[in-house]
Amino acid sequence: GAVSVGAEAGGVSLLGRPLLSATVEAPVGLCLKGDELTRAMLNTSTFRFLVEGTDAKMKPGIIGTRPGEHAEFCLDVSRLQPGEGFAALLGHMVSYEHMGKARVTCSGECSCAATDVDAYVKGGKFSVFKAHVLDLSRVRRRPGAALPPRPDCGCVLKATILPDSGSGEFKFKVLSLMTASKKGELKWGHQAGFNVRPTEPRSAKTEII
């Protein structure tokens, strides 16, 4: 007869062993997009959450529009050992108009090379998602350094709008943020964050610009 789910044969479960541990967490594993990004953003940030576009094609994200404006995102590195590396994917919009550049830096219990990200693409008429991947590593907090603003914020990833721009404008829009132990684990996230739509009616924080 048919074998029911959970039945055993010869003392061995037909379902086999679980693929993932029930008790061990991955060292890092953030995956946020749309308004979820506000959960990781510090209140010292000057970017804000907005939804652009029409109801048929709405594009939510964290947006800054002037040089010096910045967004600071918390990354939990508490399960990493000092010196252990990991990867972060910053999903952002690129477009043929309005866009500027942002400098991405790290602080706190992590380090990375400062990187300038240009969101302006000359020519064409398009606005699309692009993934910028960064290499980071866990470091020890310097003696006397300020404590993290909250327990899950040992590492702060900061994007600051620069004063130079190929478009003549300075908009920078963050669409998604991911972390993983290795770059290869981010490959399925390269389209995360752009084709997201709000599931609730518009509010004051989901205005169109």
* pLDDT on residue 149: 87
**What is the band of 88 on the pLDDT scale with cuts at 50, 70, 90?**
very high
Q: What is the band of 29 on the pLDDT scale with cuts at 50, 70, 90?
A: confident
Torsion of CA 166, 167, 170, 173, to 10 degrees: -100
pLDDT at position 26 over 90: no
pLDDT averaged over every residue in the chain: 82
Q: How far apart are CA 129 and CA 195, in angstroms?
A: 9
Q: Which residues pair with 88 in a beta bridge?
A: 134, 179
Q: What integer pLDDT is reported at residue 126 of this predicted model?
A: 81
pLDDT score of 94: 94
Alpha helices in 9-65 (DSSP H): 37-40
Residue with tokens 């399925």: 188
Q: Are 97 and 167 in contact (CB under 8 A)?
A: yes
Cα–chain center distance at 18? 29
* 179/157 Cα distance (integer angstroms): 11
Q: How confident is the model at residue 203 (pLDDT cuts 50, 70, 90)?
A: very low
103: pLDDT strictly greater than 90: yes
In this prediction, residue 113 carries a pLDDT of 97
Map tokens 């130079």 to a residue.
164
The per-residue pLDDT for 21 is 54
What CA–CA distance (Å, rounded) separates 209 from 202? 13
With b for 16 or more beta-carbon neighbours within 10 A and e for fewer, the 141-176 pattern comes to eeeeeeebeeeebbbbbbbbbbeebebeebbbbbbb
Q: What is the pLDDT of residue 143?
A: 84
Written as one letter, the residue type at 18 is P
Over residues 55-72, mean pLDDT:
91
Q: Is the pLDDT of residue 14 over 80?
A: no
The percentage of residues in the chain with a pLDDT greater than 90, rounded to a whole number, is 58
Is 20 a residue whose pLDDT tops 70?
no
Q: Which residue has the higher pLDDT, 146 or 35?
A: 35
Tokens representing 93 are 């919009």
User: In the structure, what pLDDT confidence band is assigned to residue 125 with cuts at 50, 70 and 90?
Assistant: confident
